[in-house]
């Protein structure tokens, strides 16, 4: 959960949580609790998947246990996810963001579990590609469920 109410501190937020129609279906996953953070924080929207060069809409993708990311049709999109993660880390560094609120269960943004690559909606422990990269860069990550007190 984001800490201080420092209005100058940048908070990275998955763009779909702010109402941007950028998820794989070309829709948003707006979270009123996350949007409300904008009253006390400077929100900076990011979508690692589009920042990595993937279109909107796009095929659903899931992360396998070996870290690769594949679409439901079997296309390997790991490189695009890595590019997006690198871009988000670079942005976090440039704006000195130390916290991020990311979309739960996403192969990019999931921070408390991701779908396992079987496309059966089976969750496994782990984090999305961008979440791992942000954590490695020292950014504290949480999901919209942490902000809203939703299911875990």
Single out the residue of 96, 78, 76 nearest to residue 138, CA to CA.
96
Across all residues in the chain, what is the average pLDDT?
Answer: 94
DSSP 8-state symbol, 57: S
Single out the residue of 131, 40, 116, 123 nearest to residue 81, CA to CA.
131
Q: 146 pLDDT exceeds 80?
A: yes
Task: Indicate left, alpha or beta for 64 from its phi (over 0: left) and psi (-120 to 50: alpha).
Answer: beta
What are the pLDDT digits (tens) for 63-81?
999 999 999 999 999 999 9
What are the pLDDT digits (tens) for 14-25?
999 999 999 999
Question: Cβ contacts of residue 58 below 8 Å, gap of 6+?
Answer: 24, 49, 71
- pTM (predicted TM-score): 0.93
Question: Cβ contacts of residue 94 below 8 Å, gap of 6+?
Answer: none
d(CA 64, CA 4): 35
């Amino acid at each position: 959960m984001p800490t201080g109410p420092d209005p100058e501190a940048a908070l990275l937020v998955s763009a779909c949580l702010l109402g941007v129609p950028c998820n794989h279906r070309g829709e948003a996953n707006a979270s009123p609790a996350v949007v409300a953070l904008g009253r006390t924080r400077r929100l900076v929207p990011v979508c690692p998947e589009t920042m990595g060069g993937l279109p909107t809409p796009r095929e659903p993708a899931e992360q396998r246990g070996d870290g690769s990311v594949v679409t439901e049709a079997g296309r390997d999109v790991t490189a695009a996810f890595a590019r997006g993660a690198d871009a988000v880390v670079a942005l976090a560094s440039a704006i000195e963001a130390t916290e991020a609120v990311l979309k739960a269960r996403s192969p990019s943004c999931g921070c408390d579990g991701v779908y396992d690559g079987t496309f059966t909606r089976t969750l496994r422990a782990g984090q999305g590609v961008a979440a791992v990269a942000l954590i490695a860069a020292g950014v504290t990550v949480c999901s919209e469920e942490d902000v809203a007190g939703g299911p875990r």
